[in-house]
A and B are shown apart, each in its own frame.
Chain A
């Protein structure tokens, strides 16, 4: 018994020395990284906001958004050495109606230099099919279909005088098969790396353009409602995602 005890003490001591050694080496502290999504309208990148009348450059139709939101998830940062920092539980709703929601904050990113950000637009199929979720994935957020399980990954609603009943509603989702709406994108920061070090600011600025949803889509006079997983949901969301671009970083 005595012998066992002393072995235990020795091991504990060794363990403690090792762990404390490691702490001394890491001087730089982990910090937060913010991914900011700025919304612009059309190829001129004009101002986009809810409840104000916009004209779609391609459709030529007037539209006033009352809702514009989408999911961003599974954020990973690529470090200079090629390794990744993966944010646990990273699910965000970017909602034009909720100020600050366009900033996805990734807390506790290990200090270091990062060259790329990888993220998913939409929600992964696992979380679409593993039962009741919380946080941004809480079905009470109104973005989970009750009749056909899965998340509405992009929701755009509003008024349009040319549409059949004067309004439009696009709920784009679907996580299986050819029409799945979630997609992973990666953006390189170019020559300057994103530096994470404690309280130092680290921001990634992205630009998203909701007009792109109708890039090649039919006029609202023809099609103003789509609220199920299908080919149109796939093409509209793909056009929107593909046009999201990296703008700059703020160190």
Chain B
């Protein structure tokens, strides 16, 4: 009888323990509204855990990944700006070196199939390889980065806890950063609350949404506000950046760039791949009467042989009112994402 009770007790313990674990896993996962599509990144062998996410978060804020330990990912991707840079057109890396493109915002990356303005990177896990090794960003050889982590007792402990008993390898670094990056979900803007039936839009915002759906949403597709395609939106050619054409070497892809999400757009100025526009007014003026013809210009921007999206001042004000509803103040102040 006693044996039986002990046995039962033992079983209940195991059972409740495993339940507990399930609960933890449930509490910690990618959550998103039901009007979002299924995420593109499914984690695969990279098992998402709280510890793995936290490790990725530490790495994101730690300059250890740069050559002279001065620049972290967060130097160019600041939470207060929805993980874009601090309102500068071109970011500065180590030794104050400047790149040629604007730092994009970072959120809802688990839905993103391609990365960079030219779409050259095909997977969230290999994304950090570019900034870490880019001579004008963090400028560090991968082997040195890994060695620095292995020599750091706190990191080597934490990596071991998350990934098991082995020396740190690049895959573990990439996995941890992918966990952090893919958990950055922005889905609590006024627009979201409106979609969820929690708030009403003002008249102007509501009109703005209708104008947006008619004139912008074919590229900046709801609910993520991008369709992740590569297009030319008629920007004047100011430099030799071929965009997508650099990747495909197909001249019909020249000067095409990834359609950026417009979530948090009021917080992420300046705009476009080179940060040429400082204000949303400038962007709207561009679409209404600033487009320059390019052989690869997107056909959606040419109607009846006229290039551009006709917008009067009233429509522009309403569009702007709507675009402001895309700012997600919960996201930019969420302590889960902070250092």
A144 within 8 A of B: yes
State the Cβ distance, B117 to closest chain A Cβ, in Å: 11
Contacts of B284 in A (CB 8 A): none
- Alpha-carbon separation in the docked complex, A144 to B169 (Å): 15
State the Cβ distance, B22 to closest chain A Cβ, in Å: 26
CB contact under 8 A between A129 and B123, given known A138-B170, A140-B170: yes
Q: A110-158: which residues lie under 8 A (CB-CB) from chain B?
A: 128-134, 138-140, 142, 144, 146-150
A134 touches B129 (CB 8 A): no
Contacts of B169 in A (CB 8 A): 134, 138, 140
Contacts of A133 in B (CB 8 A): 171
B249 touches A149 (CB 8 A): no
Contacts of B121 in A (CB 8 A): 146-149
Contacts of A221 in B (CB 8 A): none
B142 touches A139 (CB 8 A): yes
B54 within 8 A of A: no
A230 within 8 A of B: yes
The interface residues of chain B, by DSSP majority, are classed as helix
B85 within 8 A of A: no
**Using a Cβ–Cβ cut-off of 8 Å, how many residues does chain A contribute to the interface with B?**
20
B171 touches A144 (CB 8 A): no
A146 touches B171 (CB 8 A): no
Q: Which residue in B122, B130, B171, B246 is a CB contact (below 8 Å) of A129?
A: B122
A206 within 8 A of B: no
A229 within 8 A of B: yes
A228 within 8 A of B: yes
- Alpha-carbon separation in the docked complex, A147 to B85 (Å): 20
Contacts of B247 in A (CB 8 A): 148
A147 touches B125 (CB 8 A): no
State the Cβ distance, A127 to closest chain B Cβ, in Å: 11
Q: Specify the chain A residue showing the minimal Cβ separation from B132.
A: A146
State the Cβ distance, B181 to closest chain A Cβ, in Å: 12
Q: Which residue in A130, A131, A140 is a CB contact (below 8 Å) of B143?
A: A140
- Alpha-carbon separation in the docked complex, A228 to B116 (Å): 17
A147 touches B126 (CB 8 A): no
Interface string of B19-50 (1 = CB under 8 A from A): 00000000000000000000000001010000
B134 touches A146 (CB 8 A): yes
A149 touches B126 (CB 8 A): yes
Contacts of A228 in B (CB 8 A): 249
B124 touches A131 (CB 8 A): yes
B126 touches A132 (CB 8 A): yes
Q: B190-235: which residues lie under 8 A (CB-CB) from chain A?
A: none
- Alpha-carbon separation in the docked complex, A129 to B120 (Å): 11
- Alpha-carbon separation in the docked complex, A138 to B174 (Å): 11
B143 touches A139 (CB 8 A): no
State the Cβ distance, A177 to closest chain B Cβ, in Å: 8
- Alpha-carbon separation in the docked complex, A130 to B125 (Å): 8
Contacts of B73 in A (CB 8 A): none
B178 within 8 A of A: yes
Contacts of B126 in A (CB 8 A): 131-132, 139, 144, 146, 149
- Alpha-carbon separation in the docked complex, A226 to B253 (Å): 20
B107 within 8 A of A: no
State the Cβ distance, B94 to closest chain A Cβ, in Å: 16
State the Cβ distance, A184 to closest chain B Cβ, in Å: 22
Contacts of A138 in B (CB 8 A): 169-171
CB contact under 8 A between A146 and B123, given known A139-B170, A140-B146: no
State the Cβ distance, A195 to closest chain B Cβ, in Å: 36
State the Cβ distance, B47 to closest chain A Cβ, in Å: 13
Contacts of B134 in A (CB 8 A): 146
Contacts of B287 in A (CB 8 A): none
Q: Which residue in A139, A140, A144, A148 is a CB contact (below 8 Å) of B120?
A: A148
- Alpha-carbon separation in the docked complex, A144 to B127 (Å): 12
B249 touches A130 (CB 8 A): no
CB contact under 8 A between A147 and B130, given known A130-B44, A131-B178: yes
Q: A-contacting residues of B (Cβ < 8 Å)? A: 44, 46, 116, 120-126, 129-130, 133-134, 142-143, 146, 169-171, 174-175, 178, 246-247, 249
New A-B pairs, 20, CB < 8 Å, besides A139-B170, A142-B142, A148-B120 = A128-B122, A130-B44, A130-B123, A131-B46, A131-B123, A131-B125, A132-B125, A134-B171, A138-B170, A139-B126, A144-B126, A146-B126, A146-B134, A148-B247, A149-B121, A149-B122, A149-B123, A149-B126, A229-B249, A230-B249
Closest 10 CB pairs of A and B: A131-B125, A132-B174, A140-B142, A132-B125, A149-B122, A146-B130, A132-B171, A131-B123, A140-B170, A148-B120
30 A-B contact pairs sorted by A residue (CB < 8 Å): A129-B122, A130-B44, A130-B123, A131-B46, A131-B174, A132-B46, A132-B125, A132-B174, A132-B178, A134-B170, A134-B171, A138-B170, A139-B174, A140-B142, A140-B146, A140-B169, A140-B170, A142-B142, A144-B126, A146-B121, A146-B129, A147-B121, A148-B120, A148-B247, A149-B122, A149-B126, A150-B122, A228-B249, A229-B249, A230-B249
Q: B-contacting residues of A (Cβ < 8 Å)? A: 128-134, 138-140, 142, 144, 146-150, 228-230
